[in-house]
Amino acid sequence: MIVEIRLPEISENVHEGDVIKVLVKPGDVIAVDQPLIELETEKAVFEVPSTVAGTLLEITVKPGGTVNVGDVIARVGTESNRPAAAGASTASRAISPAASSASTTPANTPRTPTPVPSLADPPAREAVASAVASTADAVVAVASEQGTPAPASPTVRRLARELGVDINQVLGSGPGGRISAEDVQGFAKSIIASAIGTGHAPAPVHTPAGPTAARTLPDFARFGTIERVPMTKIRQVTASNLAYAWTTVPAVTQHDEADITDLEAARKHYAPRVEAAGGKLTMTAILVKVCASALKRFPDFNASIDLARNEIVYKKYVNIGVAVDTERGLLVPVIRGVDAKNIAMLSIEIGEVAEKAPAKKIMPDDLEGGTFTISNLGGIGGTLFTPIVNAPEVAILGVSRATMKPVFVDGGFQPRLVLPLSLSYDHRLIDGAAAARFLRWVCEALVHPILLSLEG
């Protein structure tokens, strides 16, 4: 029989992705869980596996095309000789209007579809058309009751929710009134600016794109040879999120240094024990645990600001994102429930994440729910840097390379291994004195780990 493989539900608020690679071809014998395509969403790059075993009859997508959740991506002939029942096939197509449309009309990229037995006869095709029309009518009826959905991508809708903005009140500046991230940011800024000027929340005002809107660039080709390369979805989302953070979060960076001479000796001593358990004892793993204790000690750093309600949201859980450099851009997978895990457990989990990210095994859900972020550039080098707050979080810790320095101890200078740390924080919630205390506590806990038990 012929089985259609559809793009499954990926993650909340992720409804589509761009096809980066097709990993199989018609005629291939494929197994269950064998990767079929490499997909990039606004959050991650990962492989979509087959759900059945058999012979690949058709791959319905091409590199560069866009596929929606529910769309057919492949058709596979299984070992069963029983033909698919026309009624059952029709019913499966009626479940998802998007999927039905994808199987009866051309997709985003041209292809020659392979005939499906259940749709070979006119009555079956008419049944499918009728089911699709009925479902479409239902969708239109719901839309009429709730109002016409605003023309915006899932990324822009998510940004609007994070800012507490009603997406339906924003005037889009794009083609056909499509709403961009800049439109949402400009709308939010106008509300904040009006509130500051009047002392109370104003009525919503339609605002075009703000100062971060794209500007027309000069013709660089006039000055020499150029090459244009499309931005990946991850790079586009990174650009949008960082522009939002840069323009809306008044961030300050606090720098400090920790003497990790004794800690480094202990790390090397216990590293074999962690390796035997399947992990790698790194400074990042230790910092994750130390920061988890610091977040418990200083709850303002484990919070978010809800300007729409004039409230501070304190999170009773501790999930720490660890920035990972990949060939397609920066990813920040989240380690969950850090406060309930020991350093050995964290070392194993961080090691798994470090392997999954470049292998494109990180799923969108792995990147959600963070309350604090750590970005460690020590493996590359540098002395200090100012990381950008990963909004709606309110703080991020930057880690640079540890170096040997002469430190005055007990009346004389001694060579000590010193680790530079940089804490960027949202000044709307966190004052400078609080940031200095937080970072100093982290430094002291690295020097005297007993603080983790005393105060963490």
- Three-state SS for the chain is CEEEEECCCCECCECEEEEEEECCCCCCEECCCCEEEEEECCCCEEEEECCCCEEEEEECCCCCCEEECCCEEEEEECCCCCCCCHHHHHHHHHCCHHHHHHHHCCCCCCCCCCCCHHHCCHHHHHHHHHHHHHHHHHHHHHHHHHCCCCCECHHHHHHHHHHCCCHHHCCCCCHHHCECHHHHHHHHHHHHHHHHHHCCCCCCCCCCCCCCCCCCCCCHHHCCCCCCCCCCHHHHHHHHHHHHHHHHCCEEEEEEEEECHHHHHHHHHHHHHHHHCCCCCCHHHHHHHHHHHHHHHCHHHHEEEECCCCEEEECCCCCEEECEEECCEEECCEECCHHHCCHHHHHHHHHHHHHHCCCCCCCHHHHCCCCEEEEECCCCCCCCCCCCCCCCCCEEEEECCCEEEEEEECCEEEEEEEEEEEEEEECCCCCHHHHHHHHHHHHHHHHCCCHHHHCC
118-127 pLDDT, tens digit per residue, is: 434 444 444 4
**Residue-wise pLDDT tens digits, 81-98:** 444 433 333 333 333 333
Q: Give the pairing type, strands 29-30 and 54-59.
A: antiparallel
Residue found by looking up tokens 């009134």 in the block? 177
Phi–psi pair at 446, nearest 5 degrees: -70, -30
pLDDT of residue 275: 94
Q: Is 195 exposed, middle or buried (0-12, 13-18, 19+ CB in 10 A)?
A: middle
So which residues are the catalytic ones?
427
CA dist., res. 70 & res. 170, Å (int): 29
What does the pLDDT read at residue 133?
A: 40
The closest alpha carbon to 54, from 27, 76, 33, 72, belongs to 76
- Which residues in the chain come in under a pLDDT of 70? 11-13, 42-43, 80-149, 154, 175-176, 191-214, 456
Nearest CA to 190 out of 211, 214, 213, 161 is that of 211
Instruction: Please provide the CATH number assigned to the domain covering 2-146.
Output: 2.40.50.100
**pLDDT score recorded for residue 374:** 97
Q: 180, 162, 183, 176: which is closest to 245 by C-alpha?
A: 162
Q: What is the pTM of this model?
A: 0.60
Distance in angstroms (rounded) separating the CA atoms of residues 349 and 335? 8
Q: Which amino acid is at 52?
A: V
Domain 251-454 bears CATH identifier 3.30.559.10: yes
pLDDT score recorded for residue 84 = 40
- Where are the chain's structural domains? 2-146, 154-235, 251-454
